[in-house]
Amino acid sequence: MLAGVLGAEDVLAVRGDEAEEAWRVVEPVLDAWRRDLVPLVEYPAGSHGPSAS
């Protein structure tokens, strides 16, 4: 049983169907960033965000 192998850390595991659903949601966003369809604005961690916002 997988939970026995992971022990107390089994709460960190993700089921296969959950992982597939997460990628179904995230992949279009990553693709849009790759194709420059949506700007990816970077800003320093801990800041108040990009100046454009």
pLDDT exceeds cutoff 70 at 4? no
What was the pLDDT predicted at 50? 87
In a domain, 3, yes or no: no
Task: Dump pLDDT digits (tens) for 8-51.
Answer: 666 778 899 999 999 999 999 999 999 999 888 889 999 998 88
Q: Is residue 53 part of a domain?
A: no
Query: Residues with Cβ < 8 Å from 2, sequence gap 6 or more?
Result: 10, 13
pLDDT of 39 reads 85
- Per the structure, the complete domain to which residue 24 belongs is given by 14-38
Phi, psi of 3, deg, nearest 5: -60, -35
**What pTM, to 2 d.p., does this model score?**
0.56
- Identify whether 49 is part of a domain: no
- For residue 26, tell me if it sits in a domain: yes
pLDDT at 9: 66
Q: Is residue 2 part of a domain?
A: no
Q: How many domains does the chain have?
A: 1
Per the domain annotation, does 4 fall within a domain? no
Does the residue 5 lie in any domain? no
Please, which pLDDT band fits residue 7 given cuts at 50, 70 and 90? Answer: low
Is 20 within the bounds of a domain?
Answer: yes
